[in-house]
């Protein structure tokens, strides 16, 4: 690439992971940029009137990685960390994730640089609507379909859908997924990512010969992905020994009171205040003893510093990009000690059920919840088996195997279509 606008530690990570896979697949140097660098990047200014009568401008982005297999697909993040490099990396990971799951999409990601907790509900609605309004020329049900990610939720998706629809003069449910059921959402999307993580953790434990009822887990992050993963693992009989969010971290080797935790979070919205007995330093949580460690918050938390201290048997990546390439190298040196469920496999439940939502919206035919989860688990099972088989066959880490499958799907479609898609 001559000169790229993409930089920062998260983009560097996506590039380094890609280079490792490209080396493994022996992809020619001249074909690498075409596979790695996004097709389109959009940056917008989103002015809103604040409650105190002023005007404030927020920076928004959307990156569409490739359009080779169909529309682009991926979440929208409202977080202070959002910049073009982070969003580009996340869009690249979405591409490999969709390709591994066999979905007819390229990857995309978007976001606004904002701490949503500092906005009033009215300001959040204004910002959501303005962001979508600015994106209207670049998105569409057959161009780019948004969904929730960190800091956004079903309500934000409903505002996106409403804003887009008002401009088209008719209701277009299929412009976003992860919507409330009342606006054309599917049953199961809210729980899909976390339930998918729990399903795959179950499969990893089976491979290791550990009964779920004898296993313990620590989950970092208690938003959509972390909370549903925690409750789903607990339902499968796994003892939850640690949880954290931005406000607090708790660890108790005897097991946390999950019903109490659930009641506390429904009332207070955050973990802080749940207990003063079992508080732990958040930086210590990830290296406590457990069978299953689920980072389900932000990128780059498993690093060169802590990877050699992890004491889990399964590392289930609920978050996108939680493990740095330095940490990957250390995990690889540790051999079979830790069974890694890489992000593009582990958290794919969300986008798979988003795909089901899009299909249902396009057909105007809605499925029972059982059908959604049966189909979800079938897709995850296929991806899991393909990844494990590829890793065994080529003697490579699970991440390299999962990415090799995803990258090959995109590469082969580009080659078949010709030079430019």
Ligand X SMILES: O=C(O)CCC(=O)C(=O)O
Cβ nearer to ligand X, comparing 239 with 398: 398
User: What's the min distance (Å) between Cβ of 78 and ligand NDP?
Assistant: 8
**Rule CB under 6 A: is residue 297 a binding residue for ligand NDP?**
yes
Tokens of 111: 């976001």
**Binding partner of residue 91 among ligand NDP, ligand X, none, CB cut-off 5 to 8 Å per kind:** none
Please indicate if the annotation marks 311 as binding a ligand.
no
Residue 99 · residue 407 · CB < 8 Å: yes
**Binding partner of residue 224 among ligand NDP, ligand X, none, CB cut-off 5 to 8 Å per kind:** ligand NDP
**Binding partner of residue 151 among ligand NDP, ligand X, none, CB cut-off 5 to 8 Å per kind:** ligand NDP
d(Cα 131, Cα 176) in Å, to the nearest integer? 13
**Rule CB under 6 A: is residue 344 a binding residue for ligand NDP?**
no
Taking the CA atoms of 111, 154, 108 and 349 in sequence, report the sign of the dihedral they define: positive
**Rule CB under 6 A: is residue 320 a binding residue for ligand X?**
yes
Minimal CB distance residue for ligand NDP: 223
Question: Residues with Cβ < 8 Å from 231, sequence gap 6 or more?
Answer: 194, 258, 262
**Rule CB under 6 A: is residue 95 a binding residue for ligand X?**
no
Please indicate if the annotation marks 354 as binding a ligand.
yes
* Rounded alpha-carbon distances, angstroms, from residue 412 to 97, 200, 277, 395, 409: 16, 28, 55, 23, 5
**Rule CB under 6 A: is residue 303 a binding residue for ligand NDP?**
no
Cβ nearer to ligand NDP, comparing 93 with 164: 93
Q: Which of residues 217-246 bind ligand X (CB under 6 A)?
A: none
Order of strands, sheet of 239-244, starting from the edge strand that comes earlier in the sequence: 249-251, 239-244, 216-220, 292-295, 314-316, 339-341
321: left (phi over 0), alpha (psi -120 to 50) or beta: left
Residue in the block written with tokens 């979440």: 75
Please indicate if the annotation marks 50 as binding a ligand.
no
Distance linking the first and last C-alpha atoms of the chain: 17
Q: Residue 366 CB: number of other CB atoms within 10 A?
A: 16
Q: Which of 149, 162, 174, 191 binds ligand X (CB under 6 A)?
A: 149
Number of residues in contact with ligand X under rule CB under 6 A: 14
Minimal CB distance residue for ligand X: 75
Of the CA atoms within 13 Å of residue 48, those in its CB half-sphere come to: 25
Query: Kindly report the CA angle at 33 between 30 and 324, in degrees rounded to 5?
Result: 125
Per DSSP bridges, beta strands 72-79 and 144-148 are: parallel
d(Cα 322, Cα 297) in Å, to the nearest integer? 8
Please indicate if the annotation marks 224 as binding a ligand.
yes
**Rule CB under 6 A: is residue 224 a binding residue for ligand NDP?**
yes
**Binding partner of residue 74 among ligand NDP, ligand X, none, CB cut-off 5 to 8 Å per kind:** ligand X
The active-site residue, picked from 3, 39, 109, 179, is: 109
Number of residues in contact with ligand NDP under rule CB under 6 A: 26
Please indicate if the annotation marks 73 as binding a ligand.
yes
Backbone angles phi, psi at 17, to 5 degrees: -60, -45
Q: Which of residues 2-41 bind ligand X (CB under 6 A)?
A: none
Question: Residues with Cβ < 8 Å from 142, sequence gap 6 or more?
Answer: 70, 71
Residue 236 · residue 260 · CB < 8 Å: no
**Rule CB under 6 A: is residue 88 a binding residue for ligand X?**
no
Q: Which of 147, 197, 327, 376 binds ligand X (CB under 6 A)?
A: 147
Q: Which of residues 337-376 bind ligand X (CB under 6 A)?
A: 347, 350-351, 354
**Rule CB under 6 A: is residue 177 a binding residue for ligand X?**
yes
Our answer to whether residue 3 is catalytic in this structure is: no
Per DSSP bridges, beta strands 106-113 and 55-64 are: antiparallel
**Binding partner of residue 244 among ligand X, ligand NDP, none, CB cut-off 5 to 8 Å per kind:** ligand NDP
**Rule CB under 6 A: is residue 191 a binding residue for ligand NDP?**
no
Cβ nearer to ligand X, comparing 93 with 222: 93
**Rule CB under 6 A: is residue 350 a binding residue for ligand NDP?**
yes
Chain centroid to CA 161: how far?
21
* Rounded alpha-carbon distances, angstroms, from residue 374 to 102, 261, 344, 367: 16, 29, 20, 11
Provide the binding-site residues for ligand NDP, judged by CB under 6 A: 148-151, 193, 220-226, 244-247, 270, 282, 296-298, 318-320, 347, 350
Instruction: Detail the residues annotated as belonging to a binding site for NAD(+).
Output: 193, 224
Instruction: Detail the residues annotated as belonging to a binding site for substrate.
Output: 73, 97, 354
**Which residue numbers are catalytic?**
109
Provide the binding-site residues for ligand X, judged by CB under 6 A: 73-75, 94, 97, 147, 149, 177-178, 320, 347, 350-351, 354
């Amino acid at each position: 690439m001559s000169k790229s606008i993409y930089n920062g530690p998260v983009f560097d990570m996506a590039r380094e992971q890609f280079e490792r896979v490209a080396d493994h697949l022996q992809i020619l140097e001249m074909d690498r940029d075409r596979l790695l660098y996004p097709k389109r990047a959009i940056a917008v200014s989103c002015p809103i009137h604040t409650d105190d009568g002023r005007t404030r401008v927020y920076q928004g982005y959307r990156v569409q990685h490739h359009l080779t297999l169909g529309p682009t697909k991926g979440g929208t993040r409202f977080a202070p960390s959002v910049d073009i490099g982070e969003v580009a990396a996340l869009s690249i990971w979405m591409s490999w994730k969709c390709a591994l799951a066999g979905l007819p999409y390229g990857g995309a990601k978007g976001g606004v640089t904002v701490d949503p907790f500092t906005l009033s509900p009215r300001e959040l609605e204004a910002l959501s609507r303005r962001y979508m309004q600015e994106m209207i020329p670049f998105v569409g049900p057959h161009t780019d379909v948004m969904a929730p990610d960190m800091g956004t939720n079903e309500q934000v998706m409903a505002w996106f859908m409403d804003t887009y629809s008002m401009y088209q003069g008719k209701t277009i449910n299929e412009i976003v997924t992860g919507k409330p059921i009342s606006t054309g959402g599917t049953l199961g999307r809210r729980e899909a990512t976390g339930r998918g993580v729990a399903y795959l953790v179950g499969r990893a434990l089976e491979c290791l010969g550990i009964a779920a009822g004898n296993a313990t887990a620590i989950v970092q992050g208690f938003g959509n992905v972390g909370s549903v993963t925690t409750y789903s693992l607990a339902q499968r009989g796994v003892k939850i020994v640690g949880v954290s969010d931005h406000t607090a971290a708790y660890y108790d080797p005897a097991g946390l009171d999950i019903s109490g935790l659930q009641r506390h979070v429904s009332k207070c919205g955050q973990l802080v205040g749940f207990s003063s007995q079992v508080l732990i330093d958040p930086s210590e949580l990830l290296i406590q003893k457990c069978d299953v460690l689920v980072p389900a918050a932000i990128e780059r938390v498993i690093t060169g510093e802590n990877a050699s201290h992890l004491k889990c048997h399964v590392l289930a990546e609920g978050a996108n990009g939680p493990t740095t390439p330095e940490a990957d190298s250390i995990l690889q040196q540790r051999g079979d000690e830790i069974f890694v469920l890489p992000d593009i496999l582990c958290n794919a439940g969300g986008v798979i059920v988003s795909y089901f939502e899009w299909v249902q919206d396009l057909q105007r035919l809605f499925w029972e919840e059982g059908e959604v989860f049966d189909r979800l688990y079938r897709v995850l099972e296929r991806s899991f088996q393909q990844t494990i088989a590829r890793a065994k066959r080529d003697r490579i880490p699970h991440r390299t195997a999962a990415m090799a499958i995803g990258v090959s799907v995109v590469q082969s479609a580009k080659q078949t279509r010709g030079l430019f898609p």
